Structure 1
C-alpha cells in the first residue's frame, strides 16, 4: 500500500521551461519551470512543482487546478473581474474555462494538482 501515497521529492535538475499551453506573455519577460512529479494511477491527475519569475501572462484554462503557494506573490485577475492577491501559504483553485492574467510580483514556487479528465 505504500505505493498509494506519494511524497514529492525536491524538483529534479531538468524542468520543462516552455510556457504552458494557453499562457501568453503580456508584460515583462517572465519565465517558468514546471516539474510534473506524479501522475495518478488512472492518468486523470498530474501534480508537481511550478516556479515563475516576475512578469505577467494571460492564461486560458482547460482543466481544473488546485494550488498551494509556497513562496512569492501573485495577482490573478479574471478577464472583466476583480484581482485576487495571493501569497505564501495560500491555497486556491482555478476552474476550467478561466481566462485572465497571472501577474507574478515576486518569484513564485507552488505545488499544483491538475485534473485532466
Structure 2
C-alpha cells in the first residue's frame, strides 16, 4: 500500500445512512441518526466515520469499543445505575464494549467515531 490508500474524510463524503433506533429502544423524541461511514476494514472489525444525532433519547448496548470525538452539540450518556456524563464539542472519550445505558441528545450532535468490534 502507498499514500493513495489513506482515507481523507474531507475529500471523501460517503452516502449518508439514515435510521432511527428500533421503537423499543426509543425513550424520548424522534432521534433520527445519520452515519457517514468513511472506512470499514475488509473483515468488518474496524470502522471510522462521522455520526449525527437529532434530539431524543434511546437505550444503548455496546458490543463494540468506540472512540468518540464530539465536534458539535451536547449529549448525556447514562449508565444502567443512572450515573450521567454530559459530553459536548471538544470532548474525546472511549466507550468500552459491554457498556449499557442510554444516550440522550440535548442539542443536535455530531461526532467522529472509530469502532473496533472483534468478530
What band does the TM-score fall into relative to the shorter chain? 0.7 to 0.9
Aligned counterparts of 2:18 and 2:7: Cα–Cα separation in 1: 24
* Structure 1 equivalent of residue 19 of structure 2: 18
CA RMSD of aligned residues (A): 2.0
SS in 2 for 1:84: strand
Aligned counterparts of 2:87 and 2:62: Cα–Cα separation in 1: 18
| Deviation, structure 1 residue 44 | 2.4
**Where do 4+ consecutive residues of structure 1 move more than 6 Å?**
none
* Structure 2 equivalent of residue 57 of structure 1: 58
* Structure 2 equivalent of residue 103 of structure 1: 104
Structure 2 portions without partners, runs of 5+: none
* Structure 1 equivalent of residue 8 of structure 2: 7
Q: State TM-score, norm by structure 1.
A: 0.87
Q: State TM-score, norm by structure 2.
A: 0.86
1:38-88: CA deviation from partner (whole Å, max 9, x where unpaired): 123554210101001111011111110000100000100011041011110
